[in-house]
Amino acid sequence: MTTQTTASTLTGQSLIAGRPVTGTDRTVHGFDPSTDEPLEPGYPLIDEAQLAQATSAAAEAYQSFSQLEPETHAAFLEKIASSIDALGPEITARAMAETGLPEARLVGERGRTVNQLRLFAAVVRQGDFRGARLDSPNPDRTPLPKPDLRQRRIPLGPVAVFGASNFPLAFSTAGGDTASALAAGCPVVFKAHNAHPGTSELVGRAITEAVAAFDLHPGVFSLIYGAGASIGQSLASDPAIQAVGFTGSRAAGVSLMKAAAAREVPIPVYAEMSSINPVFFFDGALSGDAGDLRGRAQAYLTSVTGSSGQLCTAPGLVFVPTGEAGDAFLAAVGEAAGDFGGQTMLTKSIADSWNAGVEQLGGQAGVELVGRGSQGAGENAPAPVVFSASTAQFLDNPVLHEEVFGAASLVVRYDGVEDLVAAASALEGQLTATLHITEADHETARALVPVLEQRVGRILANGWPTGVEVGHAMVHGGPFPATSDSRTTSVGTLAIERFLRPVAYQNLPEELLPAPVQAANPWGLNRRIDGDIQLDG
């Protein structure tokens, strides 16, 4: 596929409640990161008054959208998916031009995006997320009658979603935060990431088309282009917005958290921010022959360098035992590193940050170079790098705990499980932790698992953390700073619960009850009645 910019089909406008709107502020462009050349069209950024149009329309849309019956609601999500599919080649081409990511990666990401929407459509039809509970009354109970109590979860209200730099589709305009918020019944005001504005416009038009096709209130979805600091803060502070979904840097995420907490009525911020995803090699996992070690080294570096390391689950920290087996593995990593070339990073600023982070990490006392790959084409494709240090150095130096966003990783050598427990206990919150073990290591690993449960959202065995399955049991979250709320996930069907809250109805007349808790069960939901789950039918 040739990398065309599709500028002829793009307008360079925000989409506010179904209307194309030209911003009044400065104009931004997407850039081809392999050349740093700007891409047309330019996107004028909106002002505060234009932002208010989007949030007000979302507030107006809430009442009707939040009460949408399940079949129409599910079909709406499926329509978004089919509209994105119809634009597939155009979306892929534009995303390639704006991000430097390869076609295969973006085709796969588009597939994940539409599959998420279809999965949430199935969730909407099934309906368990509504949390319907009924407690039967007992007027004869003494000393006080037992009331008729019914409970369901309702949508929070309009949600502000911020696009991620590293996933122009799956964590962007129609990605997981938008899909789960819409599935919950919450209108969405989406702030596009300025690094891939054209991709965002194409997907935003697909969502707008679906809103119109089902004759929904146009305020169900708006796509805005705005200055990251000012408009982002205003969006999180707007009284109409009731929750925030964000994927990005710790500094930006914390800034949104502070803005949301400082409001007259605070709101939740679900921010995915920083993670180095520790991997722990046990002795048994390194007891194979030289071929096994080379294969493990190749797999490690493949995970580190995938998408130029710009994945939130990239393994930035690996623990390897001291001794012969660990030495042999490290030697295999150093040898294999030369097989890996630099890939174009998403933006020049991200590449600059990576270079600064690598220089800082490599300059720390006791940190040694294990291996370095080759520079890719252009300045924004730096050579992947792996360093090493001891457990003592890791515990003593906070710099060794910091994320370097990109293809860089640190190997820490340890002497025994006591070292691993100490290191894991010192970690900040993480998205993942991975154990490379054999059956002979199970007893040793047993001491580490409870510590990791307090530090991470997902524990893997004998794999690599890059690649996040979208399903019912997935947790993509973790203690701060991996995410702002460790009780939630941003991937998988449980993500819908971030945008819901419970409401109870006591002795309310049947005619006034919402459908999920009416005695007749008109939506055919599975419900918990007097403590027992009763399946529809």
Q: Which two tokens stand for residue 493?
A: 């069907």
Token pair 């400082």 is at which residue? 262
Positive or negative torsion for Cα 305, 311, 317, 319: negative
Among 293, 194, 193, 318, which residue's Cα sits nearest to residue 246?
Answer: 193
Contact 355, 384 (CB under 8 A): no
| All residues at 6 or more sequence positions from 130 whose CB lies less than 8 Å from its CB, including other chains | 152, 153, 516, 525
3-state helix/strand/coil string of 78-139: HHHHHHHHHCHHHHHHHHHHHHCCCHHHHHHHHHHHHHHHHHHHHHHHHCHHHCCEEECCEC
A 10 A CB-CB count for 132 gives: 24
Scan for tokens 């009731």, then name that residue: 242
Distances, alpha carbon 236 to alpha carbons 181, 192, 239, 256, in Å = 16, 14, 8, 6
Cβ count within 10 A of residue 87 = 18
Q: How far apart are CA 436 and CA 460, in angstroms?
A: 9
Q: Helix 324-337 and helix 290-305: axis angle, to 10°? A: 50
End-to-end Cα spacing for the chain: 51
C-beta of residue 326 within 8 angstroms of C-beta of residue 436: no
> Bridge partners of 502?
153
Active-site residue set:
272, 312
Strands of 527-529's sheet in order across: 500-506, 149-155, 133-135, 527-529, 532-534
- Percentage helix, strand, coil for the chain under 3-state DSSP, each rounded to 5: 40, 20, 35
Q: Phi and psi for 186 in degrees, rounded to 5? A: -105, 125
Q: How far is CA 298 from CA 190, 302, 338, 371, 373, in A?
A: 39, 6, 11, 12, 12
